[in-house]
């Protein structure tokens, strides 16, 4: 069946080139073998034909025009559905979110009938999912990916050949959010649906499975899929993929300390990357080899390899991205140190570690954002199902009431019920507003419809962050992760609230609170430091409990700084009380420059609490436009 489709595609495309010279009575453009086929087969034919012409827009447009003309003259409702969806897909391409077209697609899908309705709906939902996702509307996109998946997972690939393609696109979105467990499960399901002729999908899925298992620290499974991928590319003589997969496998082996096994793979990757002029791959392979030589106590060779990788990336202007700094600066610093160049080494080590903190923070926020979008989508779909059920029950109830109650009595009942409902909704909205805004700010917003930004001359900002959060989180299910994080942050809320702090927000696994606003306080620094010490003790208690129960635990870094900020409410539909200024940035630096189990405060905060707390000086760090800032560890509160 699959080979027949490829032949059909070939002859179909060939017909494009001769269509212009054919008289109207000639055979139609659409191959006869496609006629009468299920929607999925016809959509696959069109999708593949369009994709093959992706770099030839004029031929693409000509093909579509001819297909529209033929579709108008033939009585084939299935192919009409194919052309309608292709038209919607084209209209959804562009730089802006097309709400008008989205509504048209939704209505169109609901109106469709026929034996292939499931395939039609799945394709429509997938098109909407792609459009939302491309415009960073992740919750809406994920909802439509889930709705499409719930339909096409039950379809056979013989009648729906793009099933593997849809599965891969769906899995890719979870990879974006680093939800490697879900990606793994979807790719394993996809593996059984890939047509034999789709070589690249087979290689890609095997490589991604290896990456996912590696991220989950399931190295045996990771190596199995990488080796399976290598066997596949060797059989199909896929030179580019061979270098990529061997490079990924070598990094996996280095993580496990299996250097001797990694060396021949890295050497092959270096050779392949030079040959292909894949300079970024080459740079990473050189750095990896340099790390191994450093472990083998061969510092001169190590520095030469890592320096070459560094020079390549620098020539490509890659070091304006934290990801490249994090990967290269620390190994380069270690190599410089091993060669006695300490001053240069410290600069690279400090910059590399700061970059790693930034990359970790971004990854943590991204991962939790994905979990949040997934849960929001699942909750929304469940709410829709519940709402549908309630509507059915209400219709039935109204029919019964219509036979029982007089019109006036029914009107009175509905009137008072609606009045109570409005009152309840008002209370609920007030409660929700107080959950996201301080009480004084919420009152101003309700009275005036807006809140003026306010300058505070002196407050103390508290930041916290969990060490190795990404590594731990990737070994947990989404439900367990959200439950545990919610447990920690609820306790954080209790502690900061007890000490008079205002919670500002959570960013991934980071928690931010402020003391001295919106109500000003002379004791803002003392309250914030006391809260920091209480958070430290609470996390230590959790660690002991969770260790005894065999459950994962988190370790905490805490940083504080005191100074001026501006506070205000931002947002139109989702209000947020936030603060801005250098004080916030320096507080974040105090946290990232701290250590696990310590409360790290700036010199400005220390000057305000030196009489109330015992502190230990620990040096200075540079701060942009601020010079150097002293740091102190808070040991305990003075009695």
CA dist 431 and 536 (Å) reads 30
**Same domain for 424 and 554?**
no
- pLDDT tens-digit readout, 164-214: 888 888 888 888 777 788 888 888 888 777 766 565 667 888 888 888 888
521 in a structural domain: yes
> What does the pLDDT read at residue 434?
47
Q: Rounded mean pLDDT of the chain? A: 79
> What does the pLDDT read at residue 118?
92
> What does the pLDDT read at residue 3?
37
Exposure pattern of 474-502 as b/e (b: 16+ CB <10 Å)?
Answer: bebebeebbebbeebeebbeebbeebbbb
> What does the pLDDT read at residue 126?
93
**Same domain for 21 and 93?**
yes
Share of the chain above pLDDT 90, in %: 18
> What does the pLDDT read at residue 382?
59
> What does the pLDDT read at residue 24?
39
**Same domain for 151 and 2?**
yes
> What does the pLDDT read at residue 10?
35
Average pLDDT over residues 400-428: 54
> What does the pLDDT read at residue 199?
55
**Same domain for 531 and 401?**
no
- pLDDT tens-digit readout, 520-572: 889 999 999 999 999 999 999 999 998 888 888 899 999 999 999 888 765 54
Per-residue pLDDT at 397 exceeds 50: yes
Domain boundary among the residues 161, 196, 221 is at 161
Collapsed DSSP state (helix, strand, coil) of residue 496? helix
What is the CB-side half-sphere exposure of residue 569 using CA atoms within 13 A? 23
Domain boundary among the residues 161, 180, 210 is at 161
The Cα-based distances of 250 to 2, 306, 307, 351 in angstroms read: 35, 16, 20, 26
CA dist 43 and 121 (Å) reads 12
The confidence band for 143, taking pLDDT boundaries of 50, 70 and 90, is confident
25 in a structural domain: yes
Exposure pattern of 300-310 as b/e (b: 16+ CB <10 Å)?
Answer: eebbebbbbbb
CA dist 341 and 335 (Å) reads 9
**Same domain for 576 and 518?**
yes
With a threshold of 0.95, does the pTM exceed it?
no
CA dist 244 and 273 (Å) reads 9
CA dist 358 and 364 (Å) reads 10
The CATH number of whichever domain residue 581 belongs to comes to 3.30.70.1230
Collapsed DSSP state (helix, strand, coil) of residue 565? strand
């Amino acid at each position: 069946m699959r080979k027949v489709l490829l032949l059909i595609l070939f002859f179909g495309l060939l017909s494009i080139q001769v269509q212009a010279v054919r008289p109207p009575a000639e055979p139609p453009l659409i191959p006869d073998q496609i006629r009468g086929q299920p929607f999925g087969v016809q959509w696959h034919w069109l999708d593949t034909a369009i994709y093959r012409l992706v770099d030839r827009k004029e031929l693409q447009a000509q093909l579509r025009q001819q297909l529209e003309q033929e579709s108008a003259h033939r009585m084939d409702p299935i192919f009409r559905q194919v052309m309608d969806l292709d038209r919607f897909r084209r209209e959804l391409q562009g730089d802006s979110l097309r709400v008008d077209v989205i509504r048209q697609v939704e209505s169109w899908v609901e109106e469709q009938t026929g034996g292939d309705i499931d395939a039609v709906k799945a394709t429509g939902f997938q098109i909407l999912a792609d459009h939302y996702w491309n415009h960073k509307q992740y919750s809406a996109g994920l909802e439509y990916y889930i709705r499409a998946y719930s339909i096409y997972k039950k379809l056979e690939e013989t009648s729906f050949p793009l099933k593997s393609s849809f599965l891969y696109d769906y899995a890719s979105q979870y990879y974006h959010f680093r939800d490697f467990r879900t990606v793994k499960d979807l790719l394993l399901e996809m593996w059984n649906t890939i047509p034999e002729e789709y070589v690249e999908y087979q290689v890609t899925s095997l490589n991604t499975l290896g990456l996912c298992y590696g991220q989950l620290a399931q190295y045996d499974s990771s190596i199995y899929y990488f080796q399976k991928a290598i066997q596949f590319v060797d059989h199909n003589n896929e030179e580019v993929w061979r270098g990529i997969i061997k490079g990924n496998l070598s990094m996996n082996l280095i993580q496990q300390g299996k250097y001797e096994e990694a060396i021949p793979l890295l050497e092959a990757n270096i050779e392949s990357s030079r040959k292909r002029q894949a300079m970024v791959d080459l740079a990473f392979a050189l750095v990896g080899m340099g790390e191994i030589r450093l472990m083998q106590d061969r510092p001169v060779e190590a520095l030469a390899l890592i320096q070459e990788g560094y020079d390549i990336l620098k020539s490509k202007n890659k070091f304006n991205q934290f990801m490249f700094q994090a990967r290269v600066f620390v190994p380069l610093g270690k190599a410089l140190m091993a060669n006695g160049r300490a001053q240069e080494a410290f600069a690279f080590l400090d910059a590399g570690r700061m970059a790693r903190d930034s990359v970790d923070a971004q990854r943590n926020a991204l991962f939790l954002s994905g979990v949040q979008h997934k849960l929001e989508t699942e909750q929304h779909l469940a709410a829709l199902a519940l709402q549908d059920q309630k509507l059915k029950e209400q219709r039935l109830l109204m029919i019964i009431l219509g036979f029982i109650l007089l019109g006036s009595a029914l009107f009175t009942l509905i009137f008072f019920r609606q009045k109570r409902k409005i009152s309840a909704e008002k209370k609920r909205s007030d409660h929700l507003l107080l959950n996201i805004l301080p009480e004084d700010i919420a009152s101003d917003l309700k009275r005036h419809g807006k809140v003026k930004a306010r300058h505070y001359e002196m407050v103390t900002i508290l930041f916290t962050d969990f060490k190795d959060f990404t590594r731990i989180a990737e070994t947990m299910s989404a439900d367990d992760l959200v439950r545990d994080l919610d447990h920690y942050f609820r306790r954080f809320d209790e502690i900061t609230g007890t000490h008079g702090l205002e919670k500002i927000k959570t960013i991934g696994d980071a928690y931010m609170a402020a003391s001295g606003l919106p109500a000003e306080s002379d004791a803002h620094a003392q309250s914030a430091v006391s809260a920091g010490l209480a958070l430290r003790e609470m996390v230590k208690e959790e660690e002991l409990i969770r260790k005894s129960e065999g459950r994962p635990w988190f370790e905490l870094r805490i940083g504080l700084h005191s100074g001026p900020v501006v506070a205000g409410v931002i947002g139109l539909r989702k209000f947020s009380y936030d603060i801005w200024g250098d004080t916030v940035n320096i507080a974040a630096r105090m946290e990232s420059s701290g250590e696990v189990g310590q409360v790290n405060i700036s010199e400005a905060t220390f000057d305000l609490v030196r009489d109330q707390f015992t502190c230990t000086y620990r040096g200075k760090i540079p701060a942009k436009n601020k010079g150097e800032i002293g740091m102190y560890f808070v040991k305990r509160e003075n009695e």
